[in-house]
Structure 1
Amino acid sequence: MTTVQNKFLGDKDFVETLIPQRFPFVMVDKLYSYSETELVSGFTIQVDAIFFKKDCLVEAGLIEHMAQSVALHTGYQFYLKSEQAPTGYIGSIKDIEIKKLPRLDEEIRTTVSILQEFGGITLVNVVTTLNDVEIAKGQMKTVLAK
């Protein structure tokens, strides 16, 4: 696993170039580390996030953060090859377990682990933590548009 160059580490603007979503739908703002098989992303909960309600990020926002972390892996992979990343879609979400919802100004970190990749279809495990405590996990399958 390689740590992303420090100049990009907390650069929200750079991270946003790697995913197709735009404000107010962006649910990732940091890229901590990357390898071909794993990525660690971050997101600080802000009041202007589209899924922020009643002082916390709701379940749909947490799942969207997880999905955008997967998209960030693909986006950074294509960035390293100096290529435009294709659009991707969630093919399925499986075994999602949410234990806690993050509150305003808290930072969540998500680890995406690639389990299998073939023909533009990727199966991943996704684990989200808050202060090093697991708050959500699950599996996602994504499909790249041709």
Structure 2
Amino acid sequence: MEPLTDKSFVEGLIPQKAPFVMVDKLIHFSEEKLVAGFNVPEGNIFVENGKFTEPGLIEHMAQSVALYTGYQFYLKKEPAPTGYIGSIKYVNVNALPVLGSELVTEVSVLQEFMGITLVDIVTKCNDVEIAASQMKTVLAK
């Protein structure tokens, strides 16, 4: 697939709306993996002192998982359901990206069953891993 860089199209694949959108491109999609991107804009609600904060990184990672689900449903021509973070096993934040940074986040699907998705997530900035997490997301019934 060609990367999807139309911000409004990508935003339409997730339930979050501005100013709470933390993904702006879909770089790669397969049944086992998604790669999402986000350019940290000025005025972002999670930017403090010129840096994208830990809660912003966690929300970006969670929205990358939402983008995986949203794109799956888009391909099936069905509306994407709302999902929730069911649990976070761990989050490691090694560095905070600065304003204007390009984040590239890889979501690796470990298990998917009955609306529950277990994923490993790695976020990089300038090809350096800045954060990693394992999350379980649950689709609303």
Counterpart Cα distance in 1 of 2:117 and 2:82: 13
Aligned length: 141
4+ residue segments displaced more than 6 Å: none
Q: CA deviation at 1:34?
A: 0.1
TM-score by length of 1: 0.94
Q: CA deviation at 1:12?
A: 0.6
Q: CA deviation at 1:90?
A: 0.3
8 Å CA contact retained: 1:16, 1:22 = yes
Match of 1:74 in 2: 69
Q: CA deviation at 1:30?
A: 0.6
Among 21, 24, 31, the alignment partner of 1:29 is: 24
Match of 2:12 in 1: 17
Q: CA deviation at 1:48?
A: 1.8
Q: CA deviation at 1:95?
A: 1.6
8 Å CA contact retained: 1:24, 1:48 = no
Q: Percent identity?
A: 64
Match of 1:45 in 2: 40
Match of 1:105 in 2: 100
Counterpart Cα distance in 1 of 2:98 and 2:16: 22
- RMSD value over aligned CA atoms? 0.8
TM-score by length of 2: 0.97
